[in-house]
DNA sequence: TAAGGTTACGGCGATCGTAACGATC
DNA sequence: GATCGTTACGATCGCCGTAACCTTA
């Protein structure tokens, strides 16, 4: 047994048990991985993969059991390398953040700015992704950190930290009837609505609040992106339901806004990362920075 | 990085950072491990071991951090091999049980007997050990399973299962004054006592009960072993305080016994094993057998 | 016939063992 | 001088790549 064989098992899983693709990913020829797999199975004394003729089509019961351990080993191996790299030079490295447009544009700028001042050597990569994919990004090791707004499903492999609570707000052109008078869900429902796509930034919270009130919104446009929504609000398509922080008093001075606090339950933004994944010290600092920025929002 | 290097780190820890001993254990010459360690440290870019000249004297901060991951990898590697072996032949193998004399003699015979009938191919090794060492045996992988009577300290690496509750009993020759009349701690304390050594089979429970009652026992002899205690009770040295189950009505017909239930709080026997350690299916069956045997005791 | 996998063989590199050397008590 | 670790060098074994071959959609 050796680490390359362990790695191979992981890669095979990621390539749908395709030896050729696995070989490509591991930068060796196909025959090499074929042999390594055979040797490993021979060593263990039983096949790990279900085969149709020669073709691998899935894991055997044994293979399934073992894959957990394989993942553990690969993770620990990564951790060793990361710990050492961090130890060698704790001020350089990269952070991969998986997040949504709203976070990237309206929440992250301040903490990122402050972090950069302390760690100018760290490169920050932001991957925008749909909320449902954020956690997958972590599991696939494409991101170190995810910042989520929709609920994170219970996942024992994940550590989540509460970041901040936020409310939806309605935006509309100045002079719009909704700028004045009572603000209720009932009244809101009388206007054409523009809001987030399904699964995005608290959309489900909106759905639930309306369902509870027995109302149907006339959603004329949905987008993943607060800015797109605002653009169409400007063009008079309807009123926008966006996260409060996406309203910028300066840039959006041509729009009016009213908070929906009390009408739609607050949502909470969370930081998530893998439990068994080693985070370099600078990422821990970055998380601390996020949390202090979150404090500021509350205040 | 490869698995032998990871293994080497573990062995080095176990040999007090002695390269020569580590080499011996790994069945290679000393120069080989010297090189492997160098290569590994070079690969990581920083030393893992504190050195005094050439001699290794301990772990660096980096080494310490990494050792956790090393342990994880070694454990997972073991697990893979065990899972495969178990899968290949789930009816053969070994069980190493770390336990105390009392358990080995008075509790285990029945479940072991029943287990043997189902799994005649499994070899059972029983290591008797002092209660304080039982858990160490697990951590050192010298035992798969520990059966403890003294409290198991909170250990996140450990899974413990409650097995059964038991009481102390007093044993004495027939015709002894204590055979008749009131049985109280006060009265007990007027006789010379024979009981377990410190740290053994509920000795601390006895201590606590007396301390609470403000009494001092006159312990004239303490032993690790119920049978030794009974022997000296027979020779008239005093009355014995042993676990109730160590009184065998047939073999010990020449002795009288009275339960101390109500006077000394009950103790509980526990099964413990390592959390991340893979247990072959037959060991799981063995644990089940232990638990049903424990049920029988309760009834 | 293309795609996926296995087998045979030669070459290269990694790792080992021998052995000589250096340091420390 | 005994113990412990390092360095040099030759030999071996493992693993890779090339290439031919097998099987199935």
Instruction: Tell which phi-psi region holds residue A185, choosing left (phi > 0), alpha (psi between -120 and 50) or beta.
Output: alpha
In this model, does residue A153 exceed pLDDT 70?
A: no
Is residue B80's beta carbon less than 7 angstroms from any atom in nucleic acid strand C?
no
The mean-pLDDT minimum among A13-17, A89-93, B161-165 falls in: A89-93
Q: Stretch B277-285: mean pLDDT, rounded? A: 88
Pick the closest to residue A160 from A79, A20, A268, A10 (CA basis): A268
Q: Stretch B199-210: mean pLDDT, rounded? A: 81
A3-85: what CATH class? mainly alpha
Q: Is B168-265 a CATH 3.40.50.970 domain?
A: no
Q: Stretch B28-37: mean pLDDT, rounded? A: 90
The mean-pLDDT minimum among A139-143, A179-183, A191-195, B287-291 falls in: A139-143
Q: What is the mean pLDDT of chain B?
A: 87
Q: How confident is the model at residue B299 (pLDDT cuts 50, 70, 90)?
A: low
pLDDT of amino acid B254: 93
| Contact state of A84 with B1 under an 8 Å Cβ cutoff | no
Can you point out the beta strands (E) in chain B?
49-52, 55-59, 93-99, 122-128, 145-148, 158-166, 168-173, 192-196, 218-223, 239-243, 255-259, 267-274
Q: Does B139 touch chain A (CB under 8 A)?
A: no
Q: How confident is the model at residue B129 (pLDDT cuts 50, 70, 90)?
A: confident
pLDDT of amino acid A46: 86
pLDDT of amino acid A136: 85
Pick the closest to residue B73 from A225, A99, A126, A75 (CA basis): A75
Q: How far, in Å, CA of A220 to CA of A193, rounded?
A: 6
Q: Stretch A216-228: mean pLDDT, rounded? A: 84
A168-265 has the same fold as A92-163+268-295: yes
In this model, does residue B90 exceed pLDDT 80?
A: no
Percent of chain B surpassing pLDDT 90: 21
pLDDT in tens, B136-163: 888 888 889 999 876 666 777 888 888 8
Task: Give me the residues of A, 51-90, that contact B with CB < 8 A.
Answer: 61-62, 65-66, 69-70, 72-73, 76-77, 79-81, 83-85, 87-88
Percent of chain A surpassing pLDDT 70: 98
In this model, does residue B120 exceed pLDDT 90?
A: no
Q: Stretch B108-115: mean pLDDT, rounded? A: 89
Q: How far, in Å, CA of B200 to CA of B211, rounded?
A: 18
Residue with smallest Cα–C1' gap to C19? B31
Q: Backbone phi, then psi, for A89, in 5-degree steps?
A: -150, 90
Best B41, B46, B80, B82 residue to mutate vs chain A (most A CBs within 10 Å): B80
Identify the DSSP state of B236. Answer: T
pLDDT of amino acid A170: 94
Q: How far is the CA of B4 from the C1' of D17 (A)?
A: 26
Interface size between A and B, measured as CB pairs under 8 A: 77
pLDDT of amino acid B240: 92
More confidently predicted of B199 and A7: A7
Is residue A16's beta carbon less than 7 angstroms from any atom in nucleic acid strand C?
no
In this model, does residue B277 exceed pLDDT 70?
A: yes
Q: Stretch A162-179: mean pLDDT, rounded? A: 92
- Report the residue from B45, B77, B81 with minimal CB separation from A84: B45
- Report the residue from B79, B87, B278 with minimal CB separation from A62: B87
- Residues B62, B66, B68, B70, Cα dihedral to 10°: -150
Is residue B12's beta carbon less than 7 angstroms from any atom in nucleic acid strand D?
no
Percent of chain B surpassing pLDDT 70: 98
In this model, does residue B37 exceed pLDDT 80?
A: yes
- Report the residue from B46, B70, B83 with minimal CB separation from A87: B46
pLDDT of amino acid A54: 82
pLDDT of amino acid B202: 77
pLDDT of amino acid B172: 95
Decide: B149 and B103 in contact? Cβ < 8 Å.
yes
pLDDT of amino acid B145: 92
In this model, does residue B71 exceed pLDDT 70?
A: yes
Q: How far, in Å, CA of B139 to CA of B124, rounded?
A: 19
In this model, does residue B67 exceed pLDDT 80?
A: yes
pLDDT of amino acid A90: 75
Q: How far, in Å, CA of A163 to CA of A293, rounded?
A: 9
User: Strand C: which nucleotides have any atom within 7 A of a protein Cβ?
Assistant: 3-8, 15-20, 22-25
pLDDT in tens, B186-199: 899 899 998 888 77
Pick the closest to residue B131 from B101, B95, B163 (CA basis): B101
Q: What's the length of chain A?
A: 299
Q: What's the length of chain B?
A: 299
Handedness of CA A108, A114, A115, A121 (dihedral sign): positive
Q: How far is the CA of A65 from the C1' of D23 (A)?
A: 30
B201–chain A nearest CA distance, Å: 37
In this model, does residue B121 exceed pLDDT 90?
A: no
- Report the residue from A3, A45, A84 with minimal CB separation from B84: A45
Its pTM stands at 0.75
Q: What is the mean pLDDT of chain A?
A: 87
pLDDT of amino acid A281: 87
pLDDT of amino acid A77: 92
Q: How far, in Å, CA of B207 to CA of B204, rounded?
A: 5
Decide: B93 and B278 in contact? Cβ < 8 Å.
no
Decide: B238 and B192 in contact? Cβ < 8 Å.
yes
Boundaries of every domain in chain A: 3-85, 92-163+268-295, 168-265
Best A63, A84, A281 residue to mutate vs chain B (most B CBs within 10 Å): A84
In this model, does residue B122 exceed pLDDT 80?
A: yes
Tell the CATH superfamily of the B92-163+268-295 domain.
Periplasmic binding protein-like II (3.40.190.10)
Decide: A246 and A220 in contact? Cβ < 8 Å.
no
């Amino acid at each position: 047994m050796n680490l390359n064989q362990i790695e191979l098992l992981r890669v095979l899983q990621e390539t749908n048990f395709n030896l050729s693709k696995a070989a490509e990913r591991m930068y060796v020829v196909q025959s090499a991985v074929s042999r390594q797999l055979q040797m490993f199975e021979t060593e263990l004394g039983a096949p790990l993969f279900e085969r149709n003729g020669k073709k691998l089509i899935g894991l055997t019961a044994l293979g399934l059991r073992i894959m957990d351990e394989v993942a553990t080993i690969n993770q620990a191996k990564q951790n060793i390398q990361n710990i050492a790299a961090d130890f060698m030079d704790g001020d350089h490295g990269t952070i991969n953040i998986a997040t949504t447009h709203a976070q990237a544009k309206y929440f992250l700028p301040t903490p990122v700015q402050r972090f950069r001042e302390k760690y100018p050597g760290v490169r920050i990569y932001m991957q925008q992704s749909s909320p449902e994919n954020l956690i997958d990004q972590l599991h696939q090791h494409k991101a170190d950190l995810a910042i989520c707004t929709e609920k994170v499903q219970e996942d024992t492999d994940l550590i989540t930290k509460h970041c901040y609570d936020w409310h939806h707000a309605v935006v509309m052109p100045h002079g719009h009837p909704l700028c004045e008078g009572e603000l209720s869900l009932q009244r809101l429902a009388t206007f054409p609505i523009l809001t987030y796509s399904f699964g995005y930034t608290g959309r489900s919270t909106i759905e639930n609040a309306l369902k509870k009130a027995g109302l149907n919104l006339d959603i004329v446009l949905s987008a993943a992106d607060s800015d797109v929504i605002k653009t169409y609000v400007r063009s008079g398509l309807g009123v926008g339901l966006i996260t409060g922080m996406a309203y910028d008093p300066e840039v959006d001075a041509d729009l009016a806004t009213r908070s929906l606090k009390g009408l739609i339950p607050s949502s909470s933004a969370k930081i998530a990362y893998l439990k068994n994944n080693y985070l370099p010290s600078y990422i821990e600092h970055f998380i601390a920075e996020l949390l202090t920025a979150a404090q500021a929002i509350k205040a």
